Amino acid sequence: MSYVKPKQVIENMIEAGTDKAKLSIHNMVLRGILSGALLGFGTTLAFSAEMQTKLGIVGAILFPAAFVIIILLGLELVTGNFALIPLAVLEKKATIKEMFSNWFWVIVGHLIGGFIYAVLFVVTVTNFGTTSENMIAKKIIQVAEAKTIGYQAIGATGIIVVIVKAVLCNWMVSLGAVMAMTTQSTIGKIVAMWLPILIFFAQGFEHAVVNMFVIPAGMLLGADVGFGDWWVWNQIPVLFGNIIGGFIFTGLVLYATYHGFSKNGVSLYKIKQSSSIKEVEDL
């Protein structure tokens, strides 16, 4: 059968986190660039569908196509890595330094990829700067401003709101990466991944990598957003919230319930399978 049981999924998460932590810098950056650009494609696809149908849910249904491509090609998506690599660290199969190195270099790749696609997309929707009437361009400007100065307008409360929306977002996005491990079938992987990604996008939560495209694109199109607005009121708090959502609500909780924290480097679940209750308690 193609179904993979949860305990094996956790083992696969640990293995995937280990492999990602050991990647070379150039592979982290290159795979991060591709992922950043692909999520840009997914975002503009979703906006195009919304503009054409006047139904936001249609865009949400289509957006996961980009995520599916990223996972099936084995590219690097830092929001998924927020859930996977910490488990490898807990298992002592990767170091904290390797974890932060992966996160940093993949983010660098995302910024490059998102900006490259933003520039190319702006060229297409403005006919190389000769028109400003494109509806998708107006949508991007609106979204970029809402994600930055929109939060700024409500002060410190805005930071709390953006962090919570980022936590909720990556709870689902990182779960999408995990759901791909629940089956060995390609079709099964696509369907399993699609569900949590649709849930996040349909509700307008905050995804750090999507924002690495949509906010710079909005700025290029003339949004009233400065570099400081982007990073202070969105990018930094969103990254923080995405880490919490991925690591705690997906990685750590699944690890705790299906794998168990270790003592002396040995999984408690493995001990229970081979020892008496008293022996476990004595550890």
Cα separation, 44 vs 133, whole angstroms: 16
> Which candidate, 9, 78, 70, 4, places its Cα nearest to that of 35?
70
* Token digits of residue 142: 């609106």
* Token digits of residue 115: 């900006």
Q: What digits encode the pLDDT tens for the residues 91-141? A: 999 999 999 999 999 999 999 999 999 999 999 999 998 887 899 999 999
**What average pLDDT does the structure give for the chain?**
92
Max intra-chain CA distance, the chain? 77
Per-residue pLDDT at 253 exceeds 60: yes
CATH superfamily name and code, 6-270? Glycerol uptake facilitator protein. (1.20.1080.10)
| pTM to 2 decimal places | 0.91
Strand 262-263 to strand 266-267: parallel, antiparallel, or no bridges (unpaired)? antiparallel
Cα separation, 124 vs 178, whole angstroms: 35
The residues spanned by each domain of the chain are 6-270
Q: What digits encode the pLDDT tens for the residues 227-238? A: 999 999 999 999
